[in-house]
Amino acid sequence: MAFSILRLARRSIGTLGIALITIAPLVAFALTPADIAPLAADDFDAKSAAIDKLIANHDAPSHALLKALSEDNALTTDSGEVLIQDGDTTKDAITGKAVSAPGAQPVTLNNLLRSKVSGALSGSQLDSPDLETRRAAINALLQNPDPSMKPLIDAQRAKETDPGLKKKLDTLWAMTALHNSDPATRLEAVQLVAARHDLDMNELLRPLVAKKPDGTFVESDDRVRAAAQAGIDELDAIQRRSEIAGTLFAGLSLGSVLLLAALGLAITYGLIGVINMAHGEFLMIGAYATYVVQNLFKRFAPGAFDWYPLLAVPASFVAAALVGMVLERLVLKHLYGRPLETLLTTFGVSLILIQATRMIFGAQNVQVSNPAWMSGGVTVMPSLILPYNRLAILAFSLIVVGIAWAVLTKTRLGLFVRAVTQNRRMAACVGVRTSRVDSYAFAFGAGIAGLGGCALSQIGNVGPDLGQSYIIDSFMAVVLGGVGQLAGTVIGGFGLGLISKAIEPFWGAVLAKIAVLVLIVLFIQKRPQGMFALKGRSAEV
Amino acid sequence: MTSATSPASVTSSGSGAPPGTERAAQSGFALGLPPRPALLSRPAWIALIALIIAVGLGVPFSALVLPETSAFHLSAYMMTLTGKFMCYAIGALALDLVWGYCGILSLGHALFFALGGYAIGMYLMRAIGHNGVYQSDLPDFMVFLNWHALPWYWEGTQHLWYALLLVILVPAVIAWVFGFFTFRSRVKGVYLSIITQAMTFAAMLLFYRNETGFGGNNGFTDFKRIGGFPITHPGTRTALFLITFAVLVLAFLGARAIVTSKLGRVVTAVRDGETRLMFLGYSPLGYKLFIWTVSAILCGIAGALYVPQVGIINPGEMSPGNSIEMAIWVAVGGRGTLIGPIIGAFAVNGAKSFFTANFPEYWLFFLGLIFVLVPLLLPRGIMGLIELVLHKRDRS
């Protein structure tokens, strides 16, 4: 949204600038009060013209006024004078004399004018002796190319010594030289622009290959047109690559969420053969635990707010694990061996938990805010930004998988869990207290779902129905991966996420879901036990 | 589809075996199996016929003849409510066929219910004719979406007979195809439940879209007439009520005939020991497919009776929650009894009407508690409880 506004602004500045070059010759005037009087008025078009004059002037007072405009230090009085605020004093913009003007108001600029002013300021800094200032000015101009800067850019390009900056200046020059009358210059310009590999350059190149209404090309020279077309093709390829990378990331991100939701499910199903329909509600409990912790931090330790996840993660694990333990002890324990009834019972539990949450926290979604370090993102490609919160969750899910793997393979409890999963009666015979193992494992699975809820609260809405929206997908991940298999769940979760996101751009979210379902039904034709089937004696019970 | 692995081979080979009970010898069983029960016992026949007479005469009399001020007058509200419950009961009966007798807990029966409803709904939308808001040939929602012609699958839906054919064919085909692929790969138990639920969920998402051509999330409503009769007229309502009752009775007898047949026995054997049955030389696929498809058709018919009575069908009807609620009707009544699910549908939905009218915020708690407590305390449902009481009386 903000991005497109910026683009729009840039495009209009470009056309405006071009128009300016062709209509008004670049002649320096001395600054007169009449020139800048429009700044005090409300008409933005007139303001724009006044700023253009300031830019064309290249003298000290104009520069000072531009600087003041960019820093919101320009004031106007009711009588139409323009003043510059300098610390506590105010000075007349033209004479530079200190004047007192009690009722002065700041000059209001819109975004368009703001970028025009900052672009102009950068232009005037192009010949600064300081390398860093020059670099900043050039970068600012690259962001906001302005053809009216052409003379300055040409001049600086001739005398720039730093090779890096020289290259940038070349590009900058090329951007202003695309409409030069000499075809050779245009060709060079087009090649330089295309070599930037910046998707925004598309807008500069496209007009060159366009046709006029009468069928002739806007650009008369064949070589220039071919170069522009090549540039566009290359930019399209970059665009495609970044789209693929974006889809891949979205898939991994969805996969990590599904994985967190499915992991606990896979453990409990593998162990006790129970599909827990209330599993989604453990996600919800984890998310609400995060919400409560966040609120406690807001009230009692606002300074440490950025670190609330440190406490929210264990809190969400414990909250969900406790509810899971109670559920197992009170209800599920009595239903072992009757999986279909367990299915119904756990559905009832989920209804109760949802309704209880509605009555405690209200039916509306609650607000869980990201800590500061999780907002924003890393820009990988111009059109691909990876949000930090999604990256954090991806990492978090992998850590959770690691912990689950460690618990299942390296601890005594894990050994018992695996033993009971493989052969309950034999495990009982050699002295494993199976019922206690069931409880712990169920609580562990619920706790992992709680962690998933904590993660979800950072990227989505937190409401009583939170669990419902993920539960079917996470079941599918378990079915796809095979029951009671950690590796299977990981592949199943990420696979499902990637497939869904890969289909979505073509068919839309709904058809993608249906397609995924059909794929799964077809898949289990081939591999009824999932990708990672249990083998040997424990396979068919 | 069942002929390939008919139980006939087993039963005929039994003729040379030593004689069992008289009844078993008659039916060819001599393996010490208990005799197949009759369709209905004599008292049950008497009760059923009495009920048919009472409803068949009493309802029209009370709804149409008695004045509205009379204490015995059947109001339109009560009639719609009871009619709705009877549709639910047919659905529960259908689910009991697959869950109670074949061990397949379907969490997708709301889909078949809704498909039947949508099929008849297409006819009802066409029957509105020019009486819609836009007075167009097309249903209102299509005019609203700026469509200019009916989609191909709406072809022929102006005929009631064709819509009724769709009511049966659509759930049947979908159930058969889905069942073929899942049963063939021997998906069973909880896995199957989850997949049926996902199927329903996907279908719901599909029907929520306007492009699907079924009215998006508003679905079909504002019906005017059915078979030429105004749909809100008391006479039409009474007729629909009686048809629903007749279908419920026939469905019950039909289901009873299936489960007491030889085929029903094999189906029950699939429930109790599918692997063992396969070792005996049966292929369970055909049996499962048959019972599954019959159940889906029955559910579709229930949906088709439901829509004209309540006057609306939308995708919410096929939400996964609805399917699971159907399962709890069966569980409450007692599965594998056929009569139990009918009682369960009435009991649970009666409670729902009571709670949503009086304590709306506690209904979900109550429903949740039923889900939790019935499997824990009443594993065989209300019918199990009744049997227990009868047995105690017998012994004392």
Least CB–CB distance from B202: residue in A356, A479, A513: A513
Triad A175, A178, A182: Cα angle to 5°: 135
- Place B330 in a pLDDT band, splitting at 50, 70 and 90: very high
Write the pLDDT tens digit of every residue in A517-539: 788 777 776 776 665 555 544 44
* Chain B residues inside the 8 Å CB shell of A511: 206
Q: B104 at the A interface (CB within 8 A)?
A: no
- Reported confidence tier of residue A110, pLDDT bands at 50, 70, 90: confident
Given this model, what pLDDT does residue A34 score? Answer: 73
Show contacts of A226-232: CB within 8 Å, 24+ apart.
A227/A187, A227/A190, A227/A191, A227/A194, A228/A190, A228/A194, A230/A194, A231/A190, A231/A191, A231/A193, A231/A194, A231/A201, A231/A205, A232/A194, A232/A202, A232/A205, A232/A206
Q: Across the interface, do B99 and A513 touch by the CB < 8 Å criterion?
A: no
Q: Tell me which chain B residues have a C-beta less than 8 angstroms from the C-beta of A513.
A: 201-202, 205
Give a yes or no: residue A476 inside a domain.
yes
Residue A326 near chain B (CB below 8 Å)? no
Q: Does A169 lie in the same domain as A274?
A: no
For A49-65, what is each residue's pLDDT tens digit? 777 777 777 677 777 77
User: Are A66 and A128 contained in the same domain?
Assistant: yes
The DSSP bridge pattern shows strands B225-226 and B229-230 to be antiparallel
Across the range B196-211, mean pLDDT stands at: 86
Chain A residues whose CB is inside 8 A of the B191 CB are 479
B98 interfacial to chain A (CB closer than 8 Å): no
Question: What CATH number has the domain bearing residue A529?
Answer: 1.10.3470
In this structure, is residue A219 part of a structural domain? no
Which of chain A's residues have a Cβ under 8 Å away from the Cβ of B368?
348-352, 355
Q: Nearest-CA distance from B373 to chain A in Å?
A: 8
pLDDT at B305 over 90: yes
* Position A180, amino acid: N
A341, part of any domain = yes
Q: In this structure, are residues A275 and A339 in contact, taking their beta carbons and an 8 Å threshold?
A: yes
User: Looking at beta carbons, which residues of chain A come within 8 Å of B364?
Assistant: 351-352, 354-355
Contact A472 B367 (CB under 8 A): no
- For residues A14 and A149, is the Cβ–Cβ distance under 8 A? no
Separation of alpha carbons B8 and B261, rounded Å: 12
Mark which of A209, A228, A261 sits at the end of a domain.
A209
| Residue of chain B minimizing CA distance to A348 | B368
* Same-domain check for residues A77 and A154: yes
Q: What is the pLDDT of residue A533?
A: 55
**What average pLDDT does range A143-164 have in this prediction?**
71
* Interface membership of B182 toward A (CB under 8 Å): yes
Task: Tell me the C-alpha distance between A492 and A258, whole Å.
Answer: 9
Q: What pLDDT was estimated at residue B3?
A: 40
Which pLDDT belongs to residue B77? Answer: 87
Over the Cα atoms of chain B, what is R_g?
23
Distance from CA of A323 to the nearest CA of B (A): 15
Statement to judge: residues A141 and A89 lie in one domain: yes
Tell me the per-residue pLDDT of A344-358, one tens digit each, with 9 for 90 and over. Answer: 888 899 999 999 999
Alpha helices by DSSP H, A211-272: 222-272
B146 vs A3, higher pLDDT? B146
pLDDT at A319: 95
* Inter-chain CB proximity A514 and B205 less than 8 Å: yes
Task: Return the residue of B nearest to A511 by Cα.
Answer: B206
Query: Nearest Cβ partner of B331 from A344, A349, A359?
Result: A344
- With an 8 Å Cβ cutoff, is B328 touching chain A? yes
Tell me: do A158 and A282 sit in the same domain: no
Q: Report the residue of A329, A341, A529 to disrupt the B interface, i.e. the one with the largest count of B CBs within 10 Å.
A: A341
Q: Is the pLDDT of residue B27 over 60?
A: no
Q: Which residues contact B303 (CB under 8 A, 6 or more apart)?
A: B87, B91, B112, B113, B114, B115, B116, B117, B118, B120, B167, B313, B317
Q: What is the pLDDT of residue A265?
A: 85
| Lowest-confidence pick of A430-444, A461-475, B250-264 | A461-475
Is A164 in the same domain as A272? no
Question: Is a pLDDT exceeding 90 seen at residue B89?
Answer: yes
Q: Where are the domains of chain B?
A: 77-395
Confidence of residue A1 (pLDDT cuts 50, 70, 90): very low
The reported pLDDT for the residue numbered B299 is 95
Q: What is the pLDDT of residue A148?
A: 65
Could you tell me if A445 and A321 lie in one domain?
yes
Put simply, whether B364 touches A (Cβ < 8 Å) is yes
**Chain B residues touching residue A517 (CB < 8 angstroms):** 198-199, 202
Domain count, chain A: 2
pLDDT of residue A155: 73
Q: Is residue A540 part of a domain?
A: no
Instruction: Report the alpha-carbon distance of residue B46 to residue B32 in Å, rounded.
Output: 31
Q: Do B193 and A354 touch (CB under 8 A)?
A: no
Nearest chain B residue to A515 by CA: give it: B202
> Which is nearest to B75 in space by CA: B64, B90, B84, B88?
B64
Do the Cβ atoms of B14 and B30 come closer than 8 Å? yes
What distance in Å separates the CA atoms of residue B264 and residue B255, rounded to the nearest whole number? 9
A106 against A426, higher pLDDT: A426
B371:A347 CB<8 A: yes
Q: Name the residue with tokens 């393979």.
A: A409
Task: Give me the residue from B182, B206, B368 closest to A355, CB to CB.
Answer: B368
> B12: pLDDT confidence band, cut at 50, 70 and 90?
very low
How far is the C-alpha of B299 from the C-alpha of B318, rounded, in Å? Answer: 12
Examine the pLDDT at A16 and tell me if it is beyond 50: no
Chain B positions touching A354 (Cβ under 8 A) are 364
How many Cβ contacts (< 8 angstroms) between chains A and B? 114
Among candidate residues A192, A209, A226, the one where a domain is terminated: A209
Confidence of residue A290 (pLDDT cuts 50, 70, 90): very high
pLDDT band at residue A68 using 50, 70 and 90 as cut-offs: confident
Angle, helices A163-177 vs A131-143, to 10°: value is 30
Residue A522: its chain B contacts at CB < 8 A? Answer: 181
pLDDT of residue B13: 39
Classify residue A235: in a domain, yes or no. no
Min distance A519 CA to chain B CA atoms (Å) = 12
Residues A202 and A270 in one domain: no
In a domain, A421, yes or no: yes
Q: Tell me what the pLDDT averaged over chain A comes to.
A: 78
How high is the pLDDT of residue B377? 86
Q: Report the residue of B199, B364, B377, B380 to disrupt the A interface, i.e. the one with the largest count of A CBs within 10 Å.
A: B364
Residues of A in Cβ contact (< 8 Å) with B190: 269, 273-275, 339-340, 343
Kindly state whether residue A365 falls inside one of the protein's structural domains: yes
Work out the burial of residue A77: count CB atoms within 10 Å of its CB; fewer than 13 is exposed, 13-18 middle, 19 or more buried.
middle
Q: Note whether A105 and A75 are within 8 A (CB).
A: yes
Mean pLDDT across B183-189: 79
Residue span of the structural domain in which A202 resides: 2-209
- Residue A536 Ramachandran class (φ > 0 left, ψ -120 to 50 alpha, else beta): left
Query: A313: pLDDT confidence band, cut at 50, 70 and 90?
Result: very high
Instruction: Give percent of chain B above pLDDT 70.
Output: 91
Does the pLDDT at position B175 exceed 90?
A: yes
Phi, psi of A169 (to 5 degrees): -65, -35
- Listed in sequence order, the residues at least 6 apart from B112 whose beta carbon sits closer than 8 Å to its beta carbon are B94, B171, B174, B175, B295, B296, B297, B299, B300, B303
